[in-house]
Amino acid sequence: MRVISRITLSGKCWTRSATLRSSIRNPNDGVPLLRFAIDHLRRRDDRGGQEKRVATREGSRRDIRISFRGLPTAMRSFDFWRVDVFAARPLEGNPLAVFPRAGGLTDQEMLAITREMNISETTFVLPSSKAGADYRNRIFTPGGELPFAGHPSLGTAYVAFMEGLIPRAEGIVRAHQEVGIGVLPLELEVRSGAVQRVVMTQGQPSVGRTISNVDRLAKALRIKPRDITATNLLPQIASTGIASLQVPIRSLEIVREMDPDLPALGALLKRVSPEAGAYVFAFEAAGDADLHSRGFFPLSRIPEDPATGSAAGACGAYLASNQRLPGKEWFVIEQGIEIGHPSRIEVSVAIERGRPAQVRVAGAVVPIMRGTLMIP
């Protein structure tokens, strides 16, 4: 007997396969069998592999074997949002996928879903066991899970509010998220039921070692060492929960034209932290911002990030430690222009005894899509 066809059906939360075997000499005579198999699978989608003898035209008999090959009888459904963070309008800023009710997903499934979403980060919201936290926020990049990140924190807070995981109210709505580094506070500015702005307090600010010999870094960034040293600052590791290498550059033009050697940059960054990226910036901007930045994260499989809240906060800590903060409570960093996703990140640094004590990052969140993911 020869195989006429293999059918894969999908719908109503189930997937099945059918293999039809027949001694029919004329392949066209197999069409009624195909129709039978489809109807049979629709009617009996709850059964495993089975054989059925059926009568076809002129009373002939044909054997049909339906094989489910161990596939589950039902698909699981998970609703998600797609939002743009640090965006003035849709299709700007940094995109984020948020699964507001992610219970039942394994770590491996979360990573696979993140890669399927094909953007820099995806978050999965779960109940929190930590005192004072409204929810647990698990943050994934295509390279793995992060202990903390900026734009995923803001975007997830927006979705949590819209889904009722944070109490709906007007004015300043305060909430707390649990992330890998602990429980962090959030504020949502709400007017007429719409979230205008989300503010997050980041982790404890710190600055680490300085890179005094910039030759290797400059080569990886494909710029001249003088393009860094002319700022009278040196690159330095900084963190508000996740480390980044802060790299000051002497002009806006050099930052905008930069085309780094990402494998070489990744090899250098690996010495800093498994999740570290290079955050390069100039003390001038294309628009009305105070700084212009670009973020390169080859270790997280992100060639360039449209907006990096964690690195922007670390930049604030770095500038405060070097007494180079803009003279205002909130300063603005523009990012993502080079890759067509202009972003606006607001940063505020509180100083105590001459050192950064607290960093806050804020921005707008714009919803652009809602959908349902279906997996076995």
Point out the residues that are catalytic. Answer: 121
- The answer to whether the CB of 9 falls within 8 A of the CB of 15 is yes
Helix residue ranges per DSSP H, 187-260: 215-221, 226-229, 252-257
Closest CA to 375 of 114, 164, 162, 121: 114
- The answer to whether the CB of 41 falls within 8 A of the CB of 33 is no
- The answer to whether the CB of 320 falls within 8 A of the CB of 99 is no
Measured between alpha carbons, how far is 367 from 100 in angstroms, rounded to an integer?
Answer: 14
CA–CA distance from 89 to each of 103, 155, 162, 364 (Å)? 31, 14, 18, 9
- The answer to whether the CB of 83 falls within 8 A of the CB of 100 is no
CA torsion sign, 245 to 246 to 251 to 255? positive
Q: Which residues are 151's β-sheet partners?
A: none
Helix then strand then coil, % of the chain, to nearest 5: 25, 40, 35
The number of beta carbons lying within 10 Å of the beta carbon of residue 184 is 20
**Which uninterrupted H or E stretch holds 152?**
helix 150-162
- Burial class from Cβ neighbours inside 10 Å (0-12, 13-18, 19+) for residue 337 reads buried
DSSP-derived pairing of the beta strands 14-22 and 182-191: unpaired
The number of beta carbons lying within 10 Å of the beta carbon of residue 168 is 11
